[in-house]
Amino acid sequence: MVNPGRLAVLCSALVLAATGAAAANAAPTAASDNDHEMGSQIALVEGRAMPAAQPLTAQVAQTSGMDVSSHQGNIDWKAVAGKGGKFAYIKATEATTYTNPFFAQQYNGSYGAGLLHGAYHFAVPNQSGGTAQADYFVNHGGAWSRDGMTLPPALDIEYNPYGATCYGLSQAAMVAWVRDFSSRVLARTKRFPTIFTSTKWWAQCTGNNGGFGADNPLWIPFYGSSVGALPAGWGFLTIWQYADKGTFPGDQDRFNGAYDRLKALANG
Instruction: Give the residue numbers annotated as catalytic, written as ranges.
Output: 67, 156, 158
Distances (CA, A) of 129 to 53, 140, 154, 180: 35, 17, 17, 8
| Count of other CB atoms within 10 angstroms of residue 214 | 10
Strand-pairing partners, residue 243, are 252
Cβ neighbours for 209, distance < 8 A, ≥ 6 positions apart: 171, 175, 202, 232, 233
